[in-house]
């Protein structure tokens, strides 16, 4: 079992490392982040450690995932974290104004109100999102090509 867990962590690190490099290239001055659909907090933990953020806010609908996030964030001493066990569907513009960056990794394809959410984001806010190019379980939509992603969001 330990070998399987190590392989899984290595694959996640290999998957997330290029994302962190993109973040580093495009927004070196971010101080506060809101991550929507945060999952287990694996990427968040890497992100916080790399960028030494002042504030990080999580929105995660799953109680089981929130428990994992809380466990991971226990070691964060210098970043003020807030964890909401709720959907980000009704996030306020006041809340969105408190951050420089929104992270939405592998979440927008799961919701029907993705464009409505993106329109709420203040124009000066940096947003980093990713969507898979495959159709998987519980997706509202599939992106079969990079062009289909660009067509939806550009």
Element (H, E) at 135: none
The tokens describing 129, both together, are 């999102």
What's the pLDDT band for 49 if we cut at 50, 70, 90?
Answer: confident
Instruction: Supply the pLDDT for residue 1.
Output: 44
Which one is predicted more confidently, 39 or 10?
39
Q: Domain ranges in the chain?
A: 2-153
Nearest to 102 by CA among 124, 133, 72: 124
Task: Please give the class, per CATH, of domain 2-153.
Answer: alpha beta
pTM of the predicted structure, to 2 decimals = 0.85
pLDDT digits (tens, 9 = 90+) for 64-97: 999 999 999 987 778 899 999 999 998 998 999 9
């Amino acid at each position: 079992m330990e070998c399987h867990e190590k392989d899984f962590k290595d694959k996640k690190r290999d998957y997330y490392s290029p994302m962190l490099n993109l973040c580093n290239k495009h927004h070196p001055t971010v101080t506060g982040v809101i991550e929507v659909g945060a999952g287990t907090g694996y990427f968040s933990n890497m992100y916080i450690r790399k960028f030494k953020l002042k504030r990080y806010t999580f929105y995660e609908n799953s109680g089981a995932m929130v428990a994992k996030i809380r466990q991971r964030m226990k070691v964060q001493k210098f970043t003020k974290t807030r964890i909401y066990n709720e959907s980000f569907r009704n996030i306020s513009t006041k809340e969105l104004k408190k951050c420089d960056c929104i992270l939405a990794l592998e979440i927008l394809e799961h919701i029907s109100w993705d464009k409505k959410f993106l329109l709420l984001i203040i124009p000066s806010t940096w947003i980093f999102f990713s969507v898979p190019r495959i159709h998987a379980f519980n997706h509202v939509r599939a992106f079969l090509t990079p062009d289909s992603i660009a067509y939806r969001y550009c």
